[in-house]
């Protein structure tokens, strides 16, 4: 048997084991879900499901524009498996979403795209996703505040996401404005990581600060030089967030909740907890947070729990299971030959190795590392 075939077989086995483990560990939630869905109105729930699928198609188109912004072509037919595949990888290998971006970069490299440009496209995609979400919650909260009113404290949620987006954009363009300052910041981060690795009895990382700063500067230059595809990627990402918000609202309507305050705030809470929770994709925390958010606005805890369970089945269980299947369609898991060599702009390789050592799976033995976390 050829070596590449055995590696693919091994990876497929790992995927199956991980899927079964997650399903078994959270099987009680699936039983609750089946009983809960019987209590809701099916028409809004079916429409919510269809709209959520629209989100993933928009994200696949956003990926094509992100690659276009760095001067590369990537068809939506190839990016759609990556949308679900990155979700799956980020769930089974909690790593600030580095695992999913590694998959994107490696898949692109195997299709003949320079790994440095692929990392830049992945970083741009992440920025548009977080910016799209920030735009939705800013507009949504402002509209609710000006119409029916909303407690001022809830705007703290907006500030959290805006801070994340600002930090990502700032780091990216700092390399173009003042690369020495960026190298200084990354150098301090490197020293901190070195100390943490020493405590874990690991060797220091190979030099990565200069390469990372230069890659960020290059990415910023490419994005500035191609504003139209960058803007289109952002538009698609905003549309994807609108789809997800509509999905949450329809699930709420399906269970008899029509309070715009509760629905908008519930969606924001669900998304933020999925982004920043200690568990993969906020498993176990999002449902509780949504229930608390709904009771804050006078809705029953039963309604909040039902909405949380059904919404999470659509935005977590569905893409997770689809991702376990579609990830087999990526070049990485097909074991296709690498068409481009890894360049010095590859970012933080040893950190990525650590990610997959901890998760028990890896895209490939020569996979190119990514540049930034993804939601």
**Closest Cα partner for 61 from 71, 75, 50?**
75
What is residue 347's predicted lDDT score, i.e. its pLDDT?
40
Predicted local distance difference test score (pLDDT) of residue 39: 64
Tokens matching residue 215: 């890659």
Q: Could you identify the residue written with the tokens 């176990």?
A: 284
Q: Please give the Cα distance from 98 to 255 (Å, whole number).
A: 36
pLDDT of residue 49: 92
Residues of the chain with pLDDT under 70: 1-40, 93-99, 148-154, 157, 161, 205, 276-284, 334-375
pLDDT of residue 65: 93
**CA dist 355 → 39, 84, 101 (Å):** 41, 19, 12
Classify 335 as helix, strand or coil: coil
* Predicted local distance difference test score (pLDDT) of residue 14: 58
Residue 344's contacts (CB-CB under 8 Å, 6 or more residues apart) are: 211
Looking at beta carbons, which pairs linking 171-177 to residues 24 or more positions away fall under 8 Å?
A: 171/216, 172/123, 172/127, 172/216, 172/219, 172/220, 172/223, 173/220, 174/216, 175/213, 175/214, 175/215, 175/216, 175/217, 175/218, 175/219, 175/220, 176/216, 176/217, 176/220, 176/221, 176/224
Model pLDDT, residue 58: 95
**Residue 115: per-residue pLDDT:** 73
Burial of 336 from C-beta contacts in 10 A (0-12 / 13-18 / 19+):
middle
Q: Write down the pLDDT at residue 359.
A: 41
């Amino acid at each position: 048997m050829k070596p590449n075939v055995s590696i693919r077989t091994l990876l497929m086995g790992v995927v199956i084991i991980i899927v079964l483990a997650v399903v078994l560990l959270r099987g009680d939630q699936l039983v609750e879900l089946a009983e809960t869905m019987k209590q809701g109105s099916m028409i809004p729930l079916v429409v919510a499901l269809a709209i959520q699928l629209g989100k993933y198609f928009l994200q696949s188109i956003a990926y094509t524009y992100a690659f276009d912004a760095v001067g590369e072509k990537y068809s939506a037919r190839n990016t759609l498996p990556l949308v679900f595949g990155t979700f799956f990888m980020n769930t089974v290998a909690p790593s600030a979403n580095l695992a999913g971006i590694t998959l994107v970069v490696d898949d692109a490299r195997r299709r003949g795209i320079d790994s440095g440009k692929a990392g830049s496209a992945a970083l741009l995609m992440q920025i548009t996703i977080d910016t799209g979400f920030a735009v939705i919650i800013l507009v949504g909260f402002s509209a609710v505040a000006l119409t029916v009113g909303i407690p001022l404290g809830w705007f703290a949620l907006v500030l959290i996401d805006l801070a994340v987006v600002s930090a990502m954009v700032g780091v990216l363009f700092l390399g173009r404005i003042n690369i020495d300052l960026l190298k200084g910041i990354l150098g301090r981060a490197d020293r901190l990581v070195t100390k943490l690795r020493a405590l874990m009895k690991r060797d220091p990382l190979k030099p990565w600060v200069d390469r990372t700063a230069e890659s960020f500067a290059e990415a910023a230059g490419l994005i500035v030089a191609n504003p139209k595809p960058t803007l289109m990627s952002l538009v698609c990402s905003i549309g994807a967030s609108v789809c997800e918000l509509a999905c949450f609202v329809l699930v709420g309507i399906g269970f008899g909740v029509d309070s715009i305050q509760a629905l908008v705030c519930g969606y924001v809470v669900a998304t933020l907890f999925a982004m920043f929770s200690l568990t993969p994709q906020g498993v176990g925390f999002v449902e509780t947070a949504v229930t608390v958010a709904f009771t804050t606005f006078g809705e029953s805890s039963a309604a909040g729990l039902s909405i949380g369970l059904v919404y999470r089945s659509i935005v977590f269980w569905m893409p997770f299971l689809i991702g376990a299947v579609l990830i087999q369609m990526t070049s990485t898991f097909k074991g296709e030959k690498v068409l481009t060599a890894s360049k010095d702009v590859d970012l933080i390789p040893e950190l990525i190795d650590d990610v997959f050592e901890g998760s028990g799976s890896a895209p490939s033995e020569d996979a190119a590392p990514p540049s930034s976390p993804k939601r």
